[in-house]
Amino acid sequence: MKAAVLFKPNEPLQVLDCELDPPKALEVRVKMKAAGVCQSDWHVMNGDWPSPMPIVPGHEAAGEILECGAGVTTVKPGDHVIFSFRPHCGRCRYCSQGRTVLCIGRSGSPPGALYDGTLRIKHKGQGINQMARIGTFAEEVVVPEEMVVPIRKDMPWAQAALVGCCVATGVGAVTRHAKIEAGSTVLVIGCGGVGLNAIQGAVLSGAGKIVAADILDNKLEMARTFGATHTINTATDNDPVKKVKEITGLGVDYSFDAVSNDRTQALAFDALAPGGHAVAVGISAATVRASYSPFMMVFAEKTVSGTFYGSVRPDLDFPVLVDHYMNKRLNIDGLISRTYKLSEINDGFKRMMAGEVARGVVVFD
Ligand code: CXF
Ligand code: ZN
């Protein structure tokens, strides 16, 4: 089978013929059907996030179960699944609380390998890691059973793939993490895959004004089609906080930062109304620091929090998000700006970094 392999940060991916070892107990072999191209893959590829090498990047995908190892009970060959990039043991204190994205039960195992520490993808005998233990830019993968969520079979593949990262993260940030009230005013910073989904999460929750901020006009136009009522280009507007207050009066009740650098975090905080809540959603490079005014946190009772994976519980939330799409309550078609073959993967990253696409998706035969 073919897989796109990164041997060193800042090198292009190489699409190579690889071997795949069969699933062991509690593992499944999955045929990849569609895989989204996400900024997080780029963080691995450019060395922002230290990762074991060589590695197959990719973590947002859907596929079909081909084979189940001993003891697998939740899926069977032929099932359609969406990958969940967070393992959850079901037993640790966080899983017990229902906060499965914080699971610590698997933290002893290496990040790019199966739980027993072995690598299943090989190229000429050399073991290849799988990003987030998935590695979606491969025709087939072996992953732990708990990292796939079965879904209805009438869900189209490319749309299903996006549920696994940007849809879950953006919608979940609003509906599962912040749990905004109907009528709330909302600011969303960064209108890529995650930000557009935060906007539609706000629409689903009955938000009032939804202000979208980005540095690119094409992204802001897209934000309008996803439900933003107002837009701010922060590259050309020299006082976006003032603009948010002109639109909303006091500032927003909730801000969602899909970028999470020092400047966007400052905007997320400063644009809040008294009592407001700023949520960091996007994952920055590990070195980024941000600063807030503790004075305002106290006197204006502002809250700052972070959400990982939109605080979703994949087994519960993915099938619901899929139903929302099938019932036309979520727009996923509009996120898919381009599709690629696996052989075009490097072009997919180039276009993402040029800001040309909301999401590019690799579609497999
Ligand atoms: C990332 C987080 C770290 C593992 C891979 C996915 N999240 C979203 O893109
Ligand atoms: Zn992602």
pLDDT digits (tens, 9 = 90+) for 177-205: 999 999 999 999 999 999 999 999 999 99
Mean pLDDT of the chain: 97
Partners of 52 in beta bridges: none
How many Cα atoms within 13 Å fall on the side-chain side of residue 294?
A: 0
The ligand 1 atom nearest the CA atom of 169: 8
**40 assigned to active site:** yes
The pLDDT of residue 109 is 86
The pLDDT of residue 284 is 84
pLDDT digits (tens, 9 = 90+) for 338-349: 999 999 999 999
The pLDDT of residue 142 is 98
- C-alpha span between 350 and 340 (Å, rounded): 12
- C-alpha span between 14 and 50 (Å, rounded): 19
Best residue among 40, 307, 352 to mutate for probing ligand 1, ranked by most atoms within 8 Å of CB: 40
The pLDDT of residue 287 is 87
| Cβ-contact 181, 112 below 8 angstroms | no
Q: What confidence tier does 89 reach under pLDDT thresholds 50, 70, 90?
A: very high
**80 assigned to active site:** no
Measured by CA distance, the residue closest to atom 1 of ligand 1 is: 40
Quick one: average pLDDT of 59-76? 98
CA 274–ligand 2 middle distance (angstroms): 32
pTM above 0.85, yes or no: yes
- C-alpha span between 60 and 81 (Å, rounded): 11
pLDDT of 285 over the 90 cut: no
Q: Please report, as a single letter, which amino acid is at residue 107.
A: S
| Cβ-contact 351, 360 below 8 angstroms | yes
User: What domains appear along the chain, each with residue ranges and CATH number?
Assistant: 2-151+332-363 (3.90.180.10), 171-307 (3.40.50.720)
275 φ/ψ angles, rounded to the nearest 5 degrees: 80, 0
**43 assigned to active site:** yes
Q: Provide the strand spans (E) within the chain.
A: 2-5, 14-17, 19-20, 27-37, 55-56, 61-68, 80-83, 121-123, 126-130, 140-144, 148-151, 186-189, 210-214, 230-233, 252-257, 272-280, 303-306, 336-340, 359-363
pLDDT of 97 over the 90 cut: yes
Q: What confidence tier does 300 reach under pLDDT thresholds 50, 70, 90?
A: very high
pLDDT digits (tens, 9 = 90+) for 246-282: 999 999 999 999 999 999 999 999 999 999 999 999 9
CA 4–ligand 1 middle distance (angstroms): 18
